[in-house]
Amino acid sequence: MSKWTQPGVLLLDKHSGVTSMKAVSQLKGKLKLHKVGHAGTLDPLATGLLICLLNGATRLAPYASAGQKRYTGIMSFGVESSTDDVDGSLSKRNVPPPALSVIRDMLTRFEGTIDQVPPQVSAVKVNGQKAYQRAR
């Protein structure tokens, strides 16, 4: 198979346990691409759409990541994690679940543009090192 040189966009369904960079690296090797980038990092535990930009299309990254996004998830009440995800040690608390009206009210706080404080185990860099590397 010869090297793919045309620009393009590939929509990749990223699996849990794979970093965005690992997915891009595998794609580059399998398709023999000159250059590959992505339009936004997904958490290694997250699944979902990873927008991959091929060759000359990598310059479109700011436009590819500018659109609206939708997230889905599963919530468990009465459980805490030391890392804010399923990788940490879990501890249970005997707390009754909140009323549905309280949950709906709380969810409205996550609509639109929000300021988010990343957890200590995120990929955000602090003094040149990923926060999760410092925390673990």
Give exposure, 30-61, as e/b (b: 16+ Cβ within 10 Å).
Answer: eeebeebbbbeebbbebeeebbbbbbebbeee
Residue 14, beta-bridge partner list: 48
Other C-beta atoms closer than 10 Å to the C-beta of 111 total 7
Identify the residue whose tokens are 């369904």: 13
Radius of gyration of the CA atoms of the chain, in A: 19
Identify whether 85 is a catalytic site residue.
Answer: no
Maximum distance among all Cα pairs of the chain, rounded to whole angstroms = 60
Identify the active-site residue in 43, 85, 87, 105: 43
The residues annotated with a catalytic role in the active site are 43
